[in-house]
Amino acid sequence: MSFDVKIPPMGESISSGILAKWHVKNGDTVKPEQPLFELETDKITSEGAAEASGVITLKVEAGAEVKIGQVVATIESTTGTVSTEKPAAAPAEAAPLAAAAPVSPAVRRLASETGVNPAEVAGSGKAGRVTKGDMLAAAEKPAPAAPTPTAPSPTPPAPIIAPKAGDRQTRRKLTPLRQKIAERLVSAQHQAALLTTFNEVDMSAVMALRAKHQEEFVKKYGFKLGFMSFFVKAVVHALREVPAINSLIEGDTLVQNHYYDIGVAVSTEKGLMVPVLRNCDTLAMPAIERAITDAAGRAREGKITLADLEGGVFTITNGGTFGSLLSTPIINPPQSAILGMHAINDRPVAVAGQVVIRPMMYIALTYDHRLVDGREAVTFLVKVKQEIEDPARLLLGL
């Protein structure tokens, strides 16, 4: 039996993309849920997975433009016609065989994250299904020692495309995502009246709070407390105080938002992505930190969806991750403002008439002057500064 491998739907606004990479070779044997290819569109990069097991035949080369629904490969089943009769099994084998039953999305996700094959896990669920708890328990068990191969043959690394001797240039076509990023950045500069205002923040209090509670926080939640969650919470408080920044222009209409979905810029190999954290005004700090960690991980793994990138009212970007001291970020249309974080450096500052050394960060707010006046922009930035320098205000909602 033959199965078609098609480019899956990615959203109403996406009709095509670039098949950037094959994860398998022509003639390979594949298994269900095994990643087959990487698809780049002007909005997201995602993976296509096998829906059946068998030998794959590739019909499209890497780098080709493909349409949604196009057949890019076929999988020829190696098991022949599927029989509805199940072979008798010894009682001792009954549990492992039951793991071949359909698995839930949570089990599939854990399989990709841990490398544990659900087919090799004894299921404790109904009808022998493998549960999330079964997978977590299997992941904690040490893997059995594999026999040492007599003739190891490591997979060769992917070839590095380097210019030929004497070449002065290398040319390659821009990816759809990079083209879209360029288009949106130029559009933002042409259509909005951009202005940037700056301030600096003393990070001493936040750093001391993190250092004091980090170990206990990690034990309880399983991930570290970063700086970004403090800034997300501070931005929500500032948007409430300066609602003009939580608005946008649609034609000749001013639209005022009354919700707080905050975008957090994430740098990936394919370009900058801005997954959106929903309803940040209702989330506690641990929930915000978890949402940031999950969104950033999925963006870098190419597992982000179009829905994850839509609907944000404000964006935060952290150039300090790469050592940036100061910058003027560009807004993410149709939003009216963006906050830029930067590197934390020890600098001399005046405190109570004394010169002291403090860990300082420059912050920048770029805003659309058509909507936001200078007074409102400065008020917003000062509010963020106050919240970060006195993080107890974040917990008390002040």
Same domain, 38 and 75: yes
Same domain, 21 and 119: no
pLDDT grade, residue 177 (50/70/90)?
low
pLDDT at 123: 72
Beta bridge partners of 27: none
Same domain, 116 and 205: no
Domain limits for position 324: 186-396
pLDDT grade, residue 103 (50/70/90)?
low
With beta carbons less than 8 A apart as the criterion, state whether 263 and 280 touch: no
Nearest-10 crossing angle of helices 285-300, 204-221: 80
How many other CB atoms sit within 10 Å of the CB of residue 322?
9
Instruction: Please determine, for residue 316, whether its predicted confidence score (pLDDT) is greater than 80.
Output: yes
pLDDT at 42: 61
Sheet holding 71-76, edge to edge: 2-6, 71-76, 54-58, 29-30
Residue 89 lies in a domain: no
Structure tokens at 226: 């970063």
With beta carbons less than 8 A apart as the criterion, state whether 66 and 16 touch: yes
Beta strands in the chain (DSSP E): 2-6, 16-22, 29-30, 35-40, 45-49, 54-58, 65-67, 71-76, 194-202, 247-250, 253-256, 262-264, 266-268, 271-273, 276-277, 314-318, 337-341, 344-351, 354-368
Nearest-angstrom CA–CA distance, 276 and 295 = 8
pLDDT at 212: 92
pLDDT at 362: 96
Nearest-angstrom CA–CA distance, 9 and 1 = 24
Q: Nearest-5° angle of CA 184, CA 187, CA 192? A: 120
CATH number at residue 296: 3.30.559.10
Nearest-angstrom CA–CA distance, 381 and 388 = 11
Residue 243 phi/psi, 5° resolution?
A: -65, -20
Same domain, 250 and 307: yes
Same domain, 52 and 116: no
pLDDT grade, residue 112 (50/70/90)?
low
Residue 172 lies in a domain: no
Q: Where is mean pLDDT largest: 66-80, 107-121, 181-195, 262-276?
A: 262-276
Q: Which of 23, 28, 190, 373 is catalytic?
A: 373
- pTM value is 0.61
Same domain, 332 and 222: yes
pLDDT grade, residue 110 (50/70/90)?
low
Gap between the terminal Cα atoms of the chain: 65
Would residue 390 show up in a list of annotated catalytic residues for this protein?
A: no
Same domain, 116 and 58: no
Residue 246 phi/psi, 5° resolution?
A: -95, 55
Instruction: Please determine, for residue 148, whether its predicted confidence score (pLDDT) is greater than 70.
Output: no
Determine the average pLDDT of the residues in 32-58.
80
Instruction: Please determine, for residue 304, whether its predicted confidence score (pLDDT) is greater than 50.
Output: yes
Structure tokens at 301: 């793994």
Q: Nearest-5° angle of CA 250, CA 253, CA 259? A: 70
Same domain, 72 and 211: no
pLDDT at 68: 83
* 395 vs 237 pLDDT, higher one: 237
Number of domains within the chain: 3
Residue 169 lies in a domain: no
Would residue 237 show up in a list of annotated catalytic residues for this protein?
A: no
Same domain, 67 and 109: no
pLDDT grade, residue 31 (50/70/90)?
confident
pLDDT at 137: 67
Average pLDDT in the chain: 80
Residue 197 lies in a domain: yes
Q: Which of 134, 167, 308, 369 is catalytic?
A: 369
